[in-house]
Structure 1
Amino acid sequence: MVDFEVVSLPETDHVAEGDRAPDFTRPLVNAEFWADAALSDLTDEGPVCLVFYPMDGAFPATYIWNELRDRDLGEHLTVVGVSISTPYEHKRLIEERDMAFDLFSDPANEVARTYGVAHDLDGMAGVSEPRPATFLLDEDRTVRYAWVAEEWPDFPPYDDLEREIRALAD
């Protein structure tokens, strides 16, 4: 059993439903290689579920990606992650979790700041990571669904997310 304290996170002014999601370019990692890619490259191909999560190796990352993998949500649209982990760490997570999802590497946490989901880690000056968050984007990068953690740890409402993904994909 993991022993941890639930902590309320401060309110945040994050990207919301109806907003146009900011575009960005970062290394996009899959099981074989990585290369710089833009979010707009992915949305040009169809809807995208953008998943922010803490660094690879942290237990929330394991729970989030196992749940998304087990639900086969990638068959309906592109599911892609964003965290502060390096491409090397992403490649290892993809292999260990047997994931078919690609992951953006954002070690400086700039994308999370742009989306309003950066979380400064207590007691560590200048260190932050994304708080768990999901944004369902259409082809124009309009946010159709948004969920952002209000406490740590907190996990996406997977049933709601799955329902929204299936509605957008139909």
Structure 2
Amino acid sequence: MVDFEVVELPETDHVAEGDTAPDFTRPLVSGEYWEDASLSDLTDDGRVLLVFFPMNGAFPATYVWNEIRDREWGSDDLTVVGVSISDPYAHKRLIEERGMDYRLFSDPQNGVAEEYGVVHDLDGMAGVTEPRPAVFLLDTDRTVEYAWVAEEWPDFPDYDEVEDAIENGA
């Protein structure tokens, strides 16, 4: 049995449906290599499901990516990509260990989460933050079609609801 306390997170003014998602450039990691890429590079090719998740060693990261992998999200017109504070080396290991066919942005300073309004201050670690779990479905103009942001820790998206938004629009 996992031993943790559920914590209510403070309200946040996060990016919402109808907003234009902020563009950013960070190292984008695959199972083979990484290179700097921007979110707009991805949305130029189609819709993007942007998944914020805690650092790779945290159990929510494993749960989130196992679920997304098992549901086989992603297609020619939908790119699924993650964002967390973990460095490119840790991302590469996570991709290999989980057998993922997804790329992950490395954002060690948590600046992207800050721009999206999804920062989570880690208890007992002054000055250390990570993204709270969040999912944003973006169209080719970076308009948010669907948004879900955790209100407690740990919390996970309603995967069926996300899948419905992907398949039918928000």
TM-score band, normalised by shorter chain: over 0.9
Counterpart in the other structure of 1:138: 139
Deviations 1:126-164, CA, capped at 9 Å, x for gaps: 100000000000000000000000000000110000010
**Cα distance per residue 1:48-106 (max 9 Å; x no partner):** 00000000021000000000000011126100000000000000000000000000000
Count of residues paired in the alignment: 169
Equivalent-residue separation in structure 1 for 2:121 and 2:5 (angstroms)? 17
Q: Distance in 2 between matches of 1:99 and 1:74?
A: 12
Identify unmatched segments of 5+ residues in structure 2. none
Q: Distance in 2 between matches of 1:126 and 1:107?
A: 13
Instruction: Report the Cα distance in structure 2 between the residues aligned to 1:56 and 1:105, rounded to whole angstroms.
Output: 11
1:33 aligned partner: 33
Tell me whether 1:107 sits opposite 2:91 in the alignment.
no
Q: How much has 1:124 moved relative to structure 2?
A: 1.1
The residue number in structure 2 matching 1:14 is 14
Matching of residue 89 in structure 1 with residue 90 in structure 2: yes
In 2, the alpha carbon distance for the partners of 1:5 and 1:126 equals 21
| AA of the residue aligned to 2:148 | W
SS of equivalent to 1:74: coil
Distance 1:57 1:98 in 2: 16
Extract unaligned runs of 5+ from structure 1.
Answer: none
| Partner SS for 2:161 | helix
TM score, norm. by length of structure 1: 0.98
Aligned counterparts of 1:54 and 1:122: Cα–Cα separation in 2? 13
